[in-house]
Amino acid sequence: MSERLRVLSFESRKGSEMGSLIERHGGHATVAAAMKEVPLGMTPEIQEFLDGLRAKSFDLVIFMTGVGAEALATAIETVEPREAFLNLLREQRVIVRGPKPAAVFKKWGVPFAGKAEEPNTWHEVLDLVLRLTGSDSSTPLAGMTIAVQEYGAPSADLYLELQRRGARIKTVSVYQWALPDDIGPLQSAIADTIAGAFDVIMFTTAQHLTHVTQEAERLGVKDAWLAAARRCVVASIGPTASERLREHGLPIDVEPEHPHMGHLVREALEKAPTLVAQCRDRG
């Protein structure tokens, strides 16, 4: 294709960076934020987690996101000095889901026992937990209490698999996902998708699709939006997002080798020119 590809992204926290990436790789970017992260502050649940750290009640703590780690520290800082909290973590066996929470822990100077491998889904987190226990019994986590810093929504599959292996789970919610304050751009993106204004739609988290379809349903155009999205090149950042997309009947045309935003944009814009025509023909 000689024309620039028209690319829609629902990226929220790094919307400006996403737009710049798309433009640098030759696309015409539309970025319509589909969610915001709402910190919960110091909740009774977080207080229980802090008390558990003090009492050394946890055999393992799993940090799922860098944003969540920072939000947890900020909330606890209202009742406990930051360095005191970090000292508690230094005495705790901790693992992290991926590079972002790992970067936060390195910045804090707090060691962690392991980092889940790419693509950093709950499957890799579970594998890491099991490797660290070193037990080959049917219930290798029996008697263990594992705390999990959640990210926006519970990781139900991870909890189920940990519990099946004998673990007790303590969840710690530090923020929730919500629609952005200004939903005008999102509503416009939904209407423009239906009108055929985009060649490529990119998803950097499964939650974007949840919010898009919820808003499309509220507007009475969910089926129309899904049908129009199927006629676009669908690019997903990784397996977790891809699973959610497939549940809604959306095909995955591009999933990068590494689940990072830069890889997603580069690979999508490299592959999309040969995919656009065939994608437009599918229902």
Residue 283's pLDDT is what? 62
On the question of pLDDT at 1 being above 50, the answer is: no
- Give the tens place of pLDDT for each residue, 111-170: 999 999 999 999 999 999 999 987 667 789 999 999 999 877 778 999 999 999 999 999
**For the chain, how many structural domains are there in total?**
2
The reply to whether 116 and 204 lie within a common domain is no
The answer to whether the CB of 110 falls within 8 A of the CB of 117 is: no
Q: Which residues contact 133 (CB under 8 A, 6 or more apart)?
A: 140, 141, 144
The reply to whether 79 and 121 lie within a common domain is yes
Residue 66's pLDDT is what? 93
CA gap 235, 58 in Å, rounded: 39
The reply to whether 27 and 43 lie within a common domain is no
The reply to whether 111 and 202 lie within a common domain is no
The reply to whether 160 and 268 lie within a common domain is no
User: How many Cα atoms occupy the beta-carbon half-sphere of 206 within 13 Å?
Assistant: 16
| 74: containing domain | 38-176
On the question of pLDDT at 2 being above 70, the answer is: no
> For residue 114, which of 97, 100, 138 has the smallest C-alpha distance?
97
pTM of the model: 0.86
The reply to whether 172 and 44 lie within a common domain is yes
- Give the tens place of pLDDT for each residue, 26-47: 999 999 999 998 989 999 999 9
Q: Which residue has the higher pLDDT, 154 or 85?
A: 85
- Least confident interval from 3-7, 192-196, 252-256: 3-7
Q: What is the mean pLDDT of residues 195-206?
A: 97
The answer to whether the CB of 72 falls within 8 A of the CB of 37 is: no
Q: What is the mean pLDDT of residues 99-119?
A: 96
The whole-angstrom distance between residue 43's C-alpha and the CA centroid of its chain comes to 22
Residue 1 lies in a domain: no
Strand pairing class (36-39; 175-178): antiparallel
CATH of the domain at 162: 3.40.50.10090
- Give the tens place of pLDDT for each residue, 44-84: 999 999 999 999 999 999 999 999 999 999 999 999 999 99
Q: What is the mean pLDDT of residues 169-175?
A: 94
Last residue in a domain, options 146, 176, 206 = 176
The reply to whether 170 and 88 lie within a common domain is yes
In one letter, which amino acid is 17? E
Residue 166's pLDDT is what? 95
The reply to whether 50 and 31 lie within a common domain is no
- The vertex-41 CA angle with 36 and 43, nearest 5°, equals 125
CA gap 52, 226 in Å, rounded: 45
- Give the tens place of pLDDT for each residue, 222-271: 999 999 999 999 999 999 999 999 999 999 999 999 999 999 999 999 99
Q: Which residues contact 106 (CB under 8 A, 6 or more apart)?
A: none
